[in-house]
Amino acid sequence: MPGPLEGLKVIDLSWGLSAPYCTMMLCDLGAEIIKVERPLGGDFTRGNGPFIDGVSVYFESISRGKKSITLNLTTPKGKELLLRLVDTADVLVSNYVPGAMERLGLDYETLKARNPALIYATVSGFGQTGPYAQYPAFDVIVQAMGGIMSITGEPGGAPVRPGASIGDIQAGIFTAISILAALYERNQSGQGQAIDISMLDCQVATLENAFARYLIAGEVPTALGTRHPVSTPFQAFETKDGYVVVAIVGGVNDQWPLFCSAIGRLDLIDDPRYKTSYLRSVHYDELEPIMSAPMKQKTTREWLEDFRGLRIPCGPLNTIPQVASDPQILAREMIVEIENPKLGKIKMVGTPFHFSRTRPKVSRPAPSLGEHNQEVLGGFLGLTPEEMKSLKAEEVVA
Amino acid sequence: MPGPLEGLKVIDLSWGLSAPYCTMMLCDLGAEIIKVERPLGGDFTRGNGPFIDGVSVYFESISRGKKSITLNLTTPKGKELLLRLVDTADVLVSNYVPGAMERLGLDYETLKARNPALIYATVSGFGQTGPYAQYPAFDVIVQAMGGIMSITGEPGGAPVRPGASIGDIQAGIFTAISILAALYERNQSGQGQAIDISMLDCQVATLENAFARYLIAGEVPTALGTRHPVSTPFQAFETKDGYVVVAIVGGVNDQWPLFCSAIGRLDLIDDPRYKTSYLRSVHYDELEPIMSAPMKQKTTREWLEDFRGLRIPCGPLNTIPQVASDPQILAREMIVEIENPKLGKIKMVGTPFHFSRTRPKVSRPAPSLGEHNQEVLGGFLGLTPEEMKSLKAEEVVA
């Protein structure tokens, strides 16, 4: 069954991770992604290690299923071919530095004049407007500037970067939402529009709780190890052989009495200081050793059995290899195998999008540079073999 | 200008953060969100601190712009009213524990029989299928089980939870994408469908690089403080008075020579061990002190001036208060003011969705419990004042 975005055509002028993650999701959902790359080297992430037999595993995972064409957009012919492709497309995505699309003559107004239904989405470090618009940015820059690094780490310790590229990825996800919302609106108005996503904005948008506490209640959020600022217990505890994670939220009548019984501290149940998850957070310093000490007496597996018996939300703290072989992850098809022309069968992360009718399947490999020049430029645009040959000679395509 | 989802009607059977974050985004984009709450207390996050004058700032920020009605879904009349609302809706979102909707008689097949165009989206800790389907989960559980906590923290140190509720929030974002993709497909097929989003799946989907390295290259990702596993320098450095973040990515011909010149180490430029960002990551241990020592000689502001002059991507490491007053954040309208009936004007995070034609505006406060009973049940469903009165007497609505 094809995915729900079957038939959607996306011109993908992107590189790195943010916008490519957006088009990866659209591709997983069934859209046709035509990745337009520089003839010399293409997307720089083709050069990002680690490599297996010269293949970047990073690029392989982000670009699965996309089509690649090469075009030198600084030549009049390359630009003209791109414009002809845009005429046939629903969406264009770019994360070039603000100003670059304009310098190439590919600004929104120009493209809108040719294709008024086009949805023109840009992703940049700071957005197309504002005092930082021209500053370059990568993931760690916006993670730092957006505040999450100041609230990640040990209490009183050095700041820590969350271990995933959420500065890029969240911007990519928000771009996908914007594009799909604009498609919904286009279905009624017939008109496209421009979308301007800033990685920094997206960072701030996902820190809602930290900002709510500061902006409304005046609290300054800080790093708290593994725990939650306003829910307790909601953290990892060290066990005899590793860690176990427990989460109890809500007001009165939550699972706190069950947790007290599990750790053999029935005396805490009626203590007014610990009546709600929020009050327990306020009194965390005195409560922490009371909770932590008994947790070290059993193994993680024993605690999981105890807590699950009581329906207390809990789980192990997994390494990446443990996740990759977890029975739930496998049952959900979150690890898939793709046939790569150079490497044979390789595994990668599947798609979290589960639909009852139009379930997408991740199955096609990432393209080699310019692999679909013939299909796209020859097939879609109808260029003759002679024209293709002369474009190559002129280094318009690779 | 209304947002792009103007006219979209969503029945919101959700609580906590994951699905409510999804409907917050749909609401920000212009959809009408009818939040259906238990008559007694409603969504438990109304009881989540911190509070200002008894108002949960957490709830206030996640629920801005939504409508609230109270319905006791365990009564035949309450269920019948919900079914009548579903008949008029485009989308239903729920994050009740798997099985709960079925026990209420609100399973997908029942609702589909009444409204075949309905998009029925569920969010749960582990999804509706698989061995863990029935386990309860909250944010920190899936952050731990998905692997990110094992790769967040100081090298060799204890695991750390990223300071935002990305276990919930990323699931909410992916649910929004799924709903919008299903709406795109419905526009062609006329049919709705069921969507099954797992918080754990979403965690894994956003760790693409960590899994690519493990699954394809066999590397086991670990915690790295502030730095990136395969790009160097791509981290926070301590300065004379704080931190500065620098990011250099890509292969040869990147900005490494400029960075070397900025730190006064021209001798490193031609060192073959440091030729690419990936090679510098491989030789990180020897390179780290060479880079870190000179960084401590100047202030953050001085380094930002130096690096920006060289067009090296860089930034400060901001606290939440610093972010909230950052000129770029203010220019992008990422901090908005909303008139709250109890608190007066309060500030919260705006929306990162910037559209050229249908720019949404975050302006309406969160609803009090059952605030829209009359508008929705009286107005949309046409219940008479007598019917409303008797429903209240029977405790079907609050």
Residue A357 maps to a domain: yes
Statement to judge: residues B276 and B347 lie in one domain: no
Q: Minimal CA–CA distance to B313: which of A76, A372, A136?
A: A136
| Residues A45, A15: Cα–Cα separation, whole Å | 7
Q: Which two tokens stand for residue A314?
A: 């809990």
In whole angstroms, how far apart are CA B227 and each of A66, A143, A147, A225, B224?
A: 29, 11, 16, 18, 6
At A364, which CATH number? Answer: 3.40.50.10540
Structure confidence by residue, pLDDT tens digits, B137-156: 999 999 999 999 999 999 99
Question: In chain A, which residues have their Cβ closer than 8 Å to the Cβ of B236?
Answer: 140, 144, 149, 159, 161
Structural domain boundaries, residue A36: 9-206+351-393
* Region for A207 from its dihedrals, namely left if φ exceeds 0, alpha if ψ lies in -120 to 50, beta otherwise: alpha
Domain boundary among B268, B286, B317: B317
Find the helix packing angle between A18-28 and A166-189, rounded to 10°: 50
Structure confidence by residue, pLDDT tens digits, B79-96: 999 999 999 999 999 999
Amino acid at B223: A
Statement to judge: residues A95 and A173 lie in one domain: yes
A252: confidence class by pLDDT, cuts 50, 70, 90:
low
Residue in B closest to A112 by C-alpha = B356
Statement to judge: residues B243 and B145 lie in one domain: no
| Residues B324, A214: Cα–Cα separation, whole Å | 9
Q: At residue B1, does pLDDT exceed 70?
A: no
| Residues A12, A1: Cα–Cα separation, whole Å | 24
Contact across the interface for A138 and B247, Cβ inside 8 Å: yes
Contact (CB, 8 A) for B161 and A225: yes
Question: According to the model, what pLDDT value does residue B252 have?
Answer: 52
Sequence-ordered alpha helix ranges (H) in A70-165: 76-87, 100-103, 108-114, 139-146
Beta bridge partners of A225: none
Question: According to the model, what pLDDT value does residue A1 have?
Answer: 67
Average pLDDT for A14-32? 97
Question: According to the model, what pLDDT value does residue A250 have?
Answer: 67
| Residues B220, B214: Cα–Cα separation, whole Å | 6
Statement to judge: residues B142 and B278 lie in one domain: no
Residue A194 maps to a domain: yes
Element (H, E) at A193: strand A193-198
Statement to judge: residues A195 and A47 lie in one domain: yes
Contact (CB, 8 A) for B107 and B196: no
Residue B97 maps to a domain: yes
Residue of A154, A166, A329 with shortest CB distance to B160: A154
User: Mapped to the 3 state alphabet, what secondary structure does B159-223 carry?
Assistant: CCCCCCCHHHHHHHHHHHHHHHHHHHHHHHHCCCEEEEEEHHHHHHHCCHHHHHHHHHHCCCCCC
Residue B221 maps to a domain: no
Q: Provide, rounded to the nearest whole percent, the portion of chain B with pLDDT above 70.
A: 99
Could you tell me the pTM of the whole model? 0.96
Calculate the average pLDDT of chain B: 94
Residue in A closest to B253 by C-alpha = A44
Q: At residue A283, does pLDDT exceed 70?
A: yes
Give the number of A-B residue pairs with CB atoms closer than 8 Å.
572
Q: A384 CB near a chain B CB, below 8 Å?
A: no
The residue written with tokens 């604009």 in the block is A182
Residue in B closest to A7 by C-alpha = B185
| Residues A297, A3: Cα–Cα separation, whole Å | 49
Statement to judge: residues B268 and B378 lie in one domain: no
Beta A344-349 vs B9-13: how paired, if at all?
unpaired
In whole angstroms, how far apart are CA A295 and each of A289, A307, A312, B85, B135?
A: 10, 12, 15, 47, 21
Average pLDDT for A147-170? 96
The residue written with tokens 């969160």 in the block is B366
At B263, which CATH number? Answer: 3.30.1540.10
Structure confidence by residue, pLDDT tens digits, B96-138: 999 999 999 999 999 999 999 999 999 999 999 999 999 999 9
Contact across the interface for A161 and B127, Cβ inside 8 Å: no
Statement to judge: residues B277 and B355 lie in one domain: no
Beta B344-349 vs B335-340: how paired, if at all?
antiparallel
| Residues B197, B20: Cα–Cα separation, whole Å | 14
Beta A91-94 vs A67-70: how paired, if at all?
unpaired
Amino acid at B332: R
Structure confidence by residue, pLDDT tens digits, A89-133: 999 999 999 999 999 999 999 999 999 999 999 999 999 999 999
Q: Which two tokens stand for residue B67?
A: 């409508």
B253: confidence class by pLDDT, cuts 50, 70, 90:
low
Backbone φ, ψ for residue B68 (5° rounding): -120, 130
Statement to judge: residues B35 and B175 lie in one domain: yes
Residue A174 maps to a domain: yes
Residues 6+ apart with CB under 8 A from A150: A159, A221, A222, A223, B163, B317, B318, B319, B320
Question: According to the model, what pLDDT value does residue B37 have?
Answer: 97
Residue window 215-234, chain B: list those with CB within 8 Å of chain A: 215-217, 219-221, 223-228, 230-231, 234
Overall size of chain B counted in residues: 398
Which range (A24-33, A168-177, A275-284) has the least confidence? A275-284
Question: According to the model, what pLDDT value does residue B116 have?
Answer: 98
Question: According to the model, what pLDDT value does residue B250 have?
Answer: 67
Residue window 282-321, chain A: list those with CB within 8 Å of chain B: 282, 308, 311-321
DSSP A38: -
| Residues B164, A123: Cα–Cα separation, whole Å | 22
Structure confidence by residue, pLDDT tens digits, B332-369: 999 999 999 988 999 999 999 999 999 888 989 999 99
Statement to judge: residues B262 and B345 lie in one domain: no
Statement to judge: residues B102 and B199 lie in one domain: yes
Contact across the interface for B148 and A164, Cβ inside 8 Å: yes
CA B90, B95, B96, B100 torsion-angle sign = positive
Contact (CB, 8 A) for A130 and B331: yes
Contact across the interface for A276 and B47, Cβ inside 8 Å: yes
Question: According to the model, what pLDDT value does residue B254 have?
Answer: 80
Average pLDDT for B233-260? 89
| Residues B236, A126: Cα–Cα separation, whole Å | 19
Q: At residue B164, does pLDDT exceed 80?
A: yes
3-state helix, strand, coil split of chain B in percent (to 5) is: 40, 15, 45
The domain total for chain A is: 2
Residues 6+ apart with CB under 8 A from B192: B112, B115, B116, B117, B118, B119, B120, B182, B186
The residue written with tokens 């306003």 in the block is A230
Q: At residue A135, does pLDDT exceed 80?
A: yes
| Residues B324, B88: Cα–Cα separation, whole Å | 40
Calculate the average pLDDT of chain A: 94
Q: Minimal CA–CA distance to A223: which of A290, A155, A271?
A: A155
Question: In chain A, which residues have their Cβ closer than 8 Å to the Cβ of B215?
Answer: 324, 335, 346-349
Question: According to the model, what pLDDT value does residue A389 have?
Answer: 94
Exposed e or buried b per residue across B252-278, where buried means at least 16 C-beta atoms within 10 angstroms of its C-beta: eebbbebbbebbebeebeeeeebebbb
How many Å is the Cα radius of gyration of chain A? 25
B229: confidence class by pLDDT, cuts 50, 70, 90:
confident
Sequence-ordered alpha helix ranges (H) in chain A: 18-28, 57-62, 76-87, 100-103, 108-114, 139-146, 166-189, 199-205, 208-217, 256-262, 277-282, 284-295, 300-309, 320-324, 327-331, 373, 385-393
Residue B218 maps to a domain: no
Contact (CB, 8 A) for B175 and B246: no
Catalytic residues of B: 168
Question: According to the model, what pLDDT value does residue B54 have?
Answer: 86
Amino acid at A377: L
Residue A20 maps to a domain: yes
Beta bridge partners of B344: B340
Backbone φ, ψ for residue B91 (5° rounding): -140, 140
Q: Provide, rounded to the nearest whole percent, the portion of chain A with pLDDT above 70.
A: 99
Q: Minimal CA–CA distance to B350: which of B358, B340, B360, B342?
A: B360
Strand order in the sheet with A193-198: A67-70, A32-37, A9-13, A91-94, A119-124, A193-198
Statement to judge: residues A15 and A142 lie in one domain: yes
Tell me the CA end-to-end span of chain A in Å, nearest whole number: 34
Domain boundary among A291, A317, A343: A317
Q: Which two tokens stand for residue B212?
A: 């690519």
Statement to judge: residues A127 and A268 lie in one domain: no
> In terms of C-beta density within 10 A (0-12 exposed, 13-18 middle, 19 or more buried), how is residue B313 classed?
buried
| A97–chain B nearest CA distance, Å | 12
Q: At residue A398, does pLDDT exceed 90?
A: no
B233 preceded by a cis bond (ω within 30 of 0): yes
CB neighbourhood size of B87 (10 A):
12
Residues 6+ apart with CB under 8 A from B361: B1, B3
- The string of DSSP codes covering A202-270 is HHHHTTHHHHHHHHHH-------TT--SS-SSEEEEE-SSSEEEEE--SSTTSSHHHHHHHTT-GGGTT
Domain boundary among A296, A317, A338: A317
Beta A119-124 vs A193-198: how paired, if at all?
parallel
A363: confidence class by pLDDT, cuts 50, 70, 90:
confident
Question: In chain A, which residues have their Cβ closer than 8 Å to the Cβ of B130?
Answer: 327-328, 331-332
Residue B398 maps to a domain: no
| Residues A38, B173: Cα–Cα separation, whole Å | 32
